[in-house]
Amino acid sequence: MDLPTLAAVLQAALSPNQEQRKAAEQSLDQIQFTPQHLVRVLQIIVDNNCDTAVRQFASIHFKNFIAKNWSPHDTDEPSKIAHSDK
C-alpha cells in the first residue's frame, strides 16, 4: 500500500462514522503483516505534511503492533514481523 493510501486508511480509522472506521480497521488488520508496512507507518509518523491526528494514530498503531508481535510468547513460533522491517 502506498503512503497516501495508508494515510487515508489511518485517517478513516479516526472517523466518527462507525462503518468507515470498521472498514479502515479491517484494512489495517489485512495489511499489518505485509513487508515494509512498518516502514511506511514510520514514514507517515515523521512526515510533517501529514495531519497531526493521523501521525499520532500511526504512532499508536506502530507501538501496539510492536508490543504485540515483536517477541512471540512461544519461542518456537516464527516472528510475525518481516525480517526486512526489523
Please state the domain extents for the chain: 3-72
Q: Residue 80's closest CA among 19, 18, 37? A: 37
pTM beyond 0.75: the answer is yes
Q: How many CB atoms lie within 10 A of CB 53?
A: 11
pLDDT, tens digit only, all 86 positions of the chain? 899 999 999 999 999 999 999 999 999 999 988 989 999 999 999 999 999 999 999 999 999 998 888 766 666 666 666 666 66
